[in-house]
Amino acid sequence: MNAVRFALLNTRPAKQGAALAKEIEKVGGRSYACPALQIVSLSWQVSRETTVAPLWIFTSVHALDAVSDRLSELQVSNSPVQLLAIGQATERALKEALPKWQSQAPQLSFVLAATSGREEANSERLLALPLVQTAILKQQTVWLFKGEGGRSLLKDRLSQQGCSVTEWALYRRIAAPFCEPTWQAFVADSTPLKIVLATSVESLEAVWTGWQAADRTHDTLVLPQLPLLALSSRIAESAKEKGWQGELFVALGTSTQGLIEAIQIIEEVSR
C-alpha cells in the first residue's frame, strides 16, 4: 500500500466535504472532515399564482436542493425554463436533478443550459454567455437562487442592463461547532504535509475562532502556521490580514480538480 502523501483538514460543509474526501483518497491523500459552516434552510415563498421566470440561475448545490421540494407549487410556464449553473459542482448536480424535476413538475418545460467545459463558470463569465445576453436583450425576468448574503455582482449587472431579477435566498450559513476530535486525529496523523482548506472568508473565520476557543497550551500543531489552501484570492487576502503565518495558496478554480491540482503544487513547494 502506498504511503499517504498529505492530510487535508476538509472544512467544506458535510455533503460537499464527503464528495471531496473520496477524490482526495484517490490521489493519495487523507481527508479529515471538519465542516466549518452548517447549512440552515430558509423558506421559499412561492404560490401557484407566481409567474415563472424564463431563466433560472443557481449559484450552489445547496440552492438546487432547496428548490427541488417546491416545484409542484409553480404554475405552467408559457415558454421553456432555461437553467444555468455557476460552477462545475452545481452543474453536475443540476444534470442529476433534472430527470427528477421533470417528473415532479411536468407542467414546466426545463431546458438545461449549464455551462460546460473545464473553465470555471463564475458570475463574470456567466454574464458573457449568449443565453444571458439574450435575456438582457429581451429584458427578461431572471430568478437567482442562492444563499443568504454573498456577492451581488450578478443581480446588479443584470438589473443595470434591464432584467428584472428576483433573488431567492434559500439557505443561511452559520458557524459549526469546532471539530475537536477530528482536529486531534489530524494532529496525530504521521503525514508530514498537513494542509488546511478554506472555502470562504466565513468558513476561515469559523474554523479559526473555533480552534482558538479551547485551551491550546499542549497542541503540537498551531492551526494558522499550516499551509492554507484558499478557494479564492479574496480568502487568501483575508487570512493574511488576520495574521495567518503559514504559506497561502489559491486553488486553480473551485472544482474538485482545481483543488487537487493546487494540492499537487503545495506538495512540490513543500519538498
Encode pLDDT of 135-153 as tens digits.
887 888 899 999 988 778 8
Mean pLDDT of 242-247: 95
Beta strands in 63-136 (DSSP E): 81-85, 110-112
Amino acid at 175: A
**Residue 109 pLDDT exceeds 90:** no
> In Å, how far from its chain's centre is CA 112?
20
Q: What pLDDT does 49 receive?
A: 67
Query: d(Cα 199, Cα 235) in Å, to the nearest integer?
Result: 8
Over its C-alpha atoms, the chain yields an Rg (Å, rounded) of 20
**Backbone dihedral angles phi then psi of residue 163, each to the nearest 5 degrees:** -80, 150
Q: Which of 153-157, 214-218, 240-244 has the highest mean pLDDT?
A: 240-244
The domain locations on the chain are: 6-36+176-270, 40-173
Query: d(Cα 111, Cα 124) in Å, to the nearest integer?
Result: 22
Three-state secondary-structure class, residue 192: coil
**Residue 1 pLDDT exceeds 60:** no
Mean pLDDT of 250-268: 88
CB–CB of 6/249 below 8 Å? no
Give 121 or 108, the one with higher predicted confidence: 108
Q: In CATH terms, is domain 40-173 a member of 3.40.50.10090?
A: yes
Query: d(Cα 73, Cα 63) in Å, to the nearest integer?
Result: 17
**Backbone dihedral angles phi then psi of residue 171, each to the nearest 5 degrees:** -155, 165
Class of residue 188 by CB neighbours under 10 A (exposed 0-12, middle 13-18, buried 19+): exposed
CATH fold for the domain made of 6-36+176-270: Rossmann fold (3.40.50)
Q: What pTM does this model have?
A: 0.79
**Residue 239 pLDDT exceeds 60:** yes
Q: Which of 178, 244, 245 has its CA nearest to residue 215?
A: 178
Domains 6-36+176-270 and 40-173 share a fold: yes
End-to-end CA distance of the chain: 21
CB–CB of 198/239 below 8 Å? yes
Q: What pLDDT does 185 receive?
A: 96
